[in-house]
Chains A and B, each alone.
Chain A
């Protein structure tokens, strides 16, 4: 008797461990996110205070267009050399040095490939000597126009030594320099934070990085003895006027890390969102476990009630268990989260080139508080329903057999219908009406509520679907028994399947949206885009890849080419708004190359797309004042309004505007051939012209469109990874349910084994049950996801999703994977079932 009691207690413990694991994983995700962002925040704090440690005060010109870290790169306005003299003449200034520091100096390595960067900038600078934190490793600074020095990181990545000839891409086409020096930083560092740096002589830096003589991006000012940086800043600012920004080194460090932190904060929220999904799934699992525990304790609880325990006491007895599980899971989750956060942080730094000196991993209060909050709330919320059910157990149940009563599904199904309808309604309102900021919450809430509603409906759906699914396996006795078992407890099967549904539905939904976008893009490209050859490159850092504009002129000369046009981009200020604009030398040619008729723009004209004109309230003849990244602002007249997507971009500026762009080289090229000229006759020649622009390549239209479409696949992959944990938790649920089935049906298993069911057959029976449950969950997920995805895609019609595509192939894959998941989840319970000692099993109660 004692043995039996201990055994069943242990069995329950195992189950609590399994469902506790669901909470542990969710909490790990949450606390890991906080630990990761905290570590990175402190890393960047120390990085930037390092970068600016040698700077007392820095003066720069007020930027023309304010850009946050989020939107792109801040283009510094040029600061005239005359300003340096003015600064030098101020009181409290010991020295002032004009500096040029612009992202976009891309070294072509000894292997002929451009050095890439996943985050840190690739700075082109002027050589101003060795400062306090620098240390010259080899050679000297550049003295002649043909010389450069690079930091040790760049030298190592590119594989160059002193004396080598180094090709560099800048705002100008490729140029070769002789490497005369390599420097590092104090503390034996090759760079600060993995930044690649190339130093030219000042005039060369001005020409290549700024495109103007005698200008700088900033002036570093050294304070005279007895003057603090803050004092100097406060003196300089009024003296220089509102066109200049004066900051101390500390200010700059703070600003830089603040803007990075903004980006990290966003990243943090996304991760927390996925952690939330994982926890949501965890709730299902825990709910299931506690329901089962209560069902198993029915007699015990009824006895308690019979001898006078109050309902409240019964509820408490369940909730206390939940609190204990929640607390333990929180502690473990927090610990695992610290590990995961540390791991991810080091992954992050190695992805960024390994140059980032990670701050020591710490445990921020947010991680601790959220871990306990989340762990407890999730567990207790999940246990409330089972606890209430426990309190409704009648005392007479103590005297009755513990058959699991087959309660009718009417109430739960009606509730499910209502909740699903409410969720779908919220989703619909969020997607299709304009409720401002509430939209996102409506969509988010709608999705969650819909999931809960479908989960409530699942027991009802499970009967026909599970029996239909099970038919697939009914050809063998174990298969038929497995099918029957999976239909035995519709609620439990339903919750287990619903947990899996959530992850699969989200993945499917995203896949539907992405595939719809992809195929819309392809259709559109096929119907509008007439260019047969595209010139472009993959952007994998903040700066888009660019190429030499001369390539376009030379391409135009190739026989068989009808038109070739380049496209330039900039982020500009229009009134108070920021807009992404396109420019081209001659719009008429771009039109020809792209496949539409357009007139050449005069220097004071712009063309805008229909939706842009509607949004901004412009008509033909409206005047628009635009401030590009550099130069003065100009006023333009809208000369024409073109149909959406018939030209690349929504605001097209004339060629004269390009010189004021942050990046003055083209990012895209479109080439259209004369009728009847095969692509293969021209493509190799265009490729040859791009030899000096290795960041980009020329491709035929189909390859290009496919490459664009591939970006959507990347998003899908990312979402799949992020939802992986939610799906893993659902798998734990399947294992949990099966382990329980095996335990509950011990006697049956014994009987089956006694009348001749073999071990392998027993395992097959358990596996079929698992596969049926998993595939059922996946089927629900695929259906719900396809519905939600279609709704979202439809709502995005205005944003270019012109058709809805259901990814049958991928949906099939998800179902197949679910079947596999079932098989995997069944392994342990199946082995346990097969190993049962027949006699013990028969005697089991």
Chain B
């Protein structure tokens, strides 16, 4: 099954992506011909059991990993063909990342961490946008602090701000709230949703948590390296239902 974006402009696209790790006995097929589109200005969640290939798919789309077959596009650019230099520039200028943890450089202050991709590119942040971002994440009084002086939730918000500050084409987030308690998680998630709603950002987020997924506009379900279902305008309940259904469906396969 291919997950297509109903009409609208596409920010990132996977076409028949295959990804195989190892060889012979130890061979693992992480992605088996995945095709998906992620619409511009949309908040998409990717869900699926552990080991189903969520992270792999995201990495391939973000140019952090190479694909074995098929193509990945960011906007109109086919990234499977790019070299390291071009990929680096692509990540710097057109993609934002939020990882589950260890998102920040311990030597830099929060503000410096936020500005890092711009600094690397030698660009200055747009002051109005800077203020918007800082106010949205609510960190104005913490800008001079080092990551070690911030709580886990605050650190993740700094990471979100960093991903946003360059107005990338897509933000990829891999379980951004995986390490947070539900309240901090909710802060980060609503912040992400707001940036999509109000500032027209595009976000692709991997998560295990039905509640987190319910913040998204659309959920794509992955199982065993293939897209098995998708859900528009999810609520925690519909997500949970879908997961249960899929679980029954795939359990024998997993064993």
* Cβ–Cβ contact B120 & A839, under 8 A: no
CB distance from A744 to the nearest CB of B (A): 11
* Cβ–Cβ contact A488 & B91, under 8 A: no
Query: With the chains together, A454 CA to B59 CA distance in Å?
Result: 49
* Cβ–Cβ contact B88 & A839, under 8 A: no
Assess A759 versus B84: contact at CB under 8 Å? Given A484-B107, A752-B105, A842-B99.
yes
Assess A485 versus B117: contact at CB under 8 Å? Given A754-B97, A757-B88, A759-B84.
no
Closest to A480 in B: B119
* Cβ–Cβ contact A753 & B88, under 8 A: yes
CB distance from A775 to the nearest CB of B (A): 20
* Cβ–Cβ contact A757 & B102, under 8 A: no
* Residue among A488, A757, A759 making CB contact with B107, cutoff 8 Å: A488
* Residue among A403, A477, A481, A758 making CB contact with B85, cutoff 8 Å: A758
CB distance from B115 to the nearest CB of A (A): 9
Residues of A within 8 A of B64 (CB): 754, 838-839
A761 at the binding interface (Cβ < 8 Å): yes
A751 at the binding interface (Cβ < 8 Å): yes
CB distance from B97 to the nearest CB of A (A): 5
CB distance from B42 to the nearest CB of A (A): 23
B103 at the binding interface (Cβ < 8 Å): yes
Assess A481 versus B105: contact at CB under 8 Å? Given A754-B97, A756-B88, A756-B89.
yes
Assess A484 versus B89: contact at CB under 8 Å? Given A755-B120, A756-B120.
no
* Cβ–Cβ contact A477 & B120, under 8 A: yes
B121 at the binding interface (Cβ < 8 Å): yes
* Residue among B65, B105, B148 making CB contact with A751, cutoff 8 Å: B105
B218 at the binding interface (Cβ < 8 Å): no
Chain A 479-492 against B: per-residue CB contact (8 Å), 1 yes, 0 no?
Answer: 00100110010000
Closest to B96 in A: A755
* Cβ–Cβ contact A839 & B65, under 8 A: yes
Query: With the chains together, A759 CA to B86 CA distance in Å?
Result: 11
Residues of B within 8 A of A403 (CB): 148
Query: With the chains together, A519 CA to B84 CA distance in Å?
Result: 57
Residues of B within 8 A of A757 (CB): 88, 92, 120
Residues of A within 8 A of B85 (CB): 758-759
* Cβ–Cβ contact B116 & A755, under 8 A: yes
B16 at the binding interface (Cβ < 8 Å): no
Residues of B within 8 A of A752 (CB): 105, 116
B254 at the binding interface (Cβ < 8 Å): no
A747 at the binding interface (Cβ < 8 Å): yes
Chain B 45-70 against A: per-residue CB contact (8 Å), 1 yes, 0 no?
Answer: 00000000000000100001100000
* Cβ–Cβ contact B107 & A755, under 8 A: no
Residues of B within 8 A of A484 (CB): 107-108
Closest to A478 in B: B120
* Cβ–Cβ contact A755 & B117, under 8 A: yes
B187 at the binding interface (Cβ < 8 Å): no
* Residue among B59, B119, B122 making CB contact with A839, cutoff 8 Å: B59
Residues of B within 8 A of A713 (CB): none
Query: With the chains together, A842 CA to B103 CA distance in Å?
Result: 9
Chain B 3-33 against A: per-residue CB contact (8 Å), 1 yes, 0 no?
Answer: 0000000000000000000000000000000
* Residue among A481, A747, A756 making CB contact with B91, cutoff 8 Å: A756
Query: With the chains together, A617 CA to B233 CA distance in Å?
Result: 110
Q: Which of A477, A484, A747, A839 counts the most B-chain CB atoms under 10 A from its CB?
A: A477
Chain B 79-90 against A: per-residue CB contact (8 Å), 1 yes, 0 no?
Answer: 000001100110
Query: With the chains together, A759 CA to B120 CA distance in Å?
Result: 12
B162 at the binding interface (Cβ < 8 Å): yes
Q: Which of B210-233 contact A (CB under 8 A)?
A: none
Closest to B97 in A: A754
* Residue among A481, A756, A839, A842 making CB contact with B117, cutoff 8 Å: A756
A748 at the binding interface (Cβ < 8 Å): yes
Q: Which of A721-760 contact B (CB under 8 A)?
A: 747-748, 751-759
Query: With the chains together, A261 CA to B93 CA distance in Å?
Result: 73
Closest to A747 in B: B102
Query: With the chains together, A285 CA to B242 CA distance in Å?
Result: 59
CB distance from B152 to the nearest CB of A (A): 12
* Cβ–Cβ contact A758 & B107, under 8 A: no
Q: Which of A801-845 contact B (CB under 8 A)?
A: 838-839, 842
Chain B 120-148 against A: per-residue CB contact (8 Å), 1 yes, 0 no?
Answer: 11100000000000000000000000001
Query: With the chains together, A403 CA to B92 CA distance in Å?
Result: 29
* Residue among B93, B102, B104, B105 making CB contact with A756, cutoff 8 Å: B93
Query: With the chains together, A829 CA to B182 CA distance in Å?
Result: 41
Q: Which of A468-522 contact B (CB under 8 A)?
A: 477, 481, 484-485, 488
22 pairs, CB–CB < 8 Å, chain A vs chain B: A477-B116, A484-B107, A484-B108, A747-B102, A751-B99, A751-B103, A751-B104, A754-B64, A754-B97, A754-B99, A755-B97, A755-B117, A755-B120, A755-B162, A756-B89, A756-B91, A756-B93, A757-B92, A758-B120, A759-B88, A839-B65, A842-B99
- Nearest first, the 10 A-B pairs at minimum CB distance are A756-B92, A484-B107, A758-B88, A477-B119, A756-B91, A755-B117, A477-B120, A756-B117, A756-B120, A754-B97
20 additional A-B pairs beyond A748-B102, A755-B117, beta carbons within 8 Å, are A403-B148, A481-B107, A484-B108, A488-B107, A747-B102, A748-B106, A751-B99, A751-B103, A752-B116, A753-B88, A754-B99, A755-B91, A755-B92, A756-B93, A756-B117, A756-B121, A758-B84, A758-B88, A839-B59, A842-B102
Which residues does A use to contact B, with CB under 8 Å?
403, 477, 481, 484-485, 488, 747-748, 751-759, 761, 838-839, 842
Which residues does B use to contact A, with CB under 8 Å?
59, 64-65, 84-85, 88-89, 91-93, 97, 99, 102-108, 116-117, 119-122, 148, 162
